[in-house]
Amino acid sequence: MSNTFTAPVDAAELTSALIRCPSVTPEEGGALVLLQAGLEAAGFTCTRIDRGGVSNLFARWGDKGATRTFGFNGHTDVVPVGDADAWTVDPFGAEVKDGQIWGRGATDMKSGVAAFVAAAVDMVAQTPPDGAIIITITGDEEGDALDGTTAILDWMDAENEQMSVCLVGEPTCPNEIGEMMKIGRRGSMTAFITVTGVQGHAAYPHRANNPIPALARLVDRLASHTLDTGTDHFDASTLAVVTFDTGNPATNVIPAQCKATVNIRFNDAHSSASLSEWLQSEADAIAAEFGVQIDMPIKVSGESFVTPPGALSDLVAAAVAAETGMQPELSTSGGTSDARFVQHHCPVVEFGLVGKTMHQVDERVEISQIHQLKQIYARILADYFA
């Protein structure tokens, strides 16, 4: 595909070009270079915001400080291919067959980036809006997300760049395009629990202090606890035990140490701080009961948030309904996304394609859906600036 984007931009061709860029986190792979060249040729002012070995792109059409500024956010980094021999196509070949484009990132989310870039370029070329359009694209959404969208937003704050509202183009629909949009996301945190006792011979348990019963009791108490029953916009919070390990191959040895990991997905009834306090209180009680030491570092991936239904969700829902005939469900389900960072900057919602094959072997996207998504984004822009 040419580095010059000429309206009307073919979003499917752009998707293919992006898939051919092997941008596995944190490699840029040529994807942002391609987008920057095309956007600059279309009249956007572009800035590369690279931090911590991560490549990011900021692009604006229109005046800085415009009264109305519509923002798009997305990512061009992708998860690793995995077992390359399990693929039936070249993961970075963008092969077209059965009306689909195949390759890593086809669904998550190079098609979404291509669709909103194409819609934005077409609008500024054909019906220049009274306002500004900002596009922010990161190369660190699938990684630790420490130097991706957060780096862009830090730079925007320093440069007084402001989005009035933002749409994140992540895949949001379970089965059919148009059925779901996201107005928030659950928070996510992980506790890494290590219980230390005293090693000993299994025949003389009184001379040891077995950490396994202590950890089993703690894990049971955590997993059996009802965090909540849901809130106005969220389902009930969940806690999942994802590992329980001793690493002990011997049958006649009581180990000195064992470990478990729990992941909590939480709604707006909690914060990571309140849940951390609860986890620690439970650990302290078990440590005192069993006479063991419990260490429990906690990693917080994001807090829960919701953009209350209103002008932005109405705008997106109306465009989706007009183009698909479906009224999207306003959901907060699923994992985390970079909307958790954007929500500190401006109101944000998410809408994108069907996500059935994301992160899978033979990831692929319906070509017809890419064109449909571009039309939805184009209608959103037209209605926003009307």
> How far from chain centre, in Å, is Cα 40?
27
Residue 97: strand, helix, or coil: strand
Annotation marks residue 141 as catalytic: yes
Contact 266, 304 (CB under 8 A): yes
Over the range 59-83, which residues count as b (16 or more CB within 10 Å of their CB) and which as e?
A: bbbbeeebeebbbbbbbbbbbebee
Contact 112, 373 (CB under 8 A): yes
- Nearest partner of 24 among 108, 87, 97, 94, judged by Cα: 108
Q: Which residues make Cβ contacts (< 8 Å) with residue 85, sequence separation at least 6? A: none
- Nearest partner of 109 among 54, 180, 56, 170, judged by Cα: 170
Residue 265: strand, helix, or coil: strand
Residue 81: strand, helix, or coil: coil
Axis-axis angle for helices 111-126, 367-385 (nearest 10):
40
Return the bridge partners of 143, or none: none
Give the distance between the most distant pair of CA atoms in the chain: 82
Q: Which residues make Cβ contacts (< 8 Å) with residue 132, sequence separation at least 6? A: 60, 61, 62, 63, 64, 66, 68, 69, 70
User: Which is the catalytic residue, given 28, 141, 170, 268?
Assistant: 141
User: Which is the catalytic residue, given 28, 77, 161, 363?
Assistant: 77
**Distance between CA atoms of residues 186 and 197, nearest Å:** 35
Any idea which residues carry the catalytic annotation?
77, 141
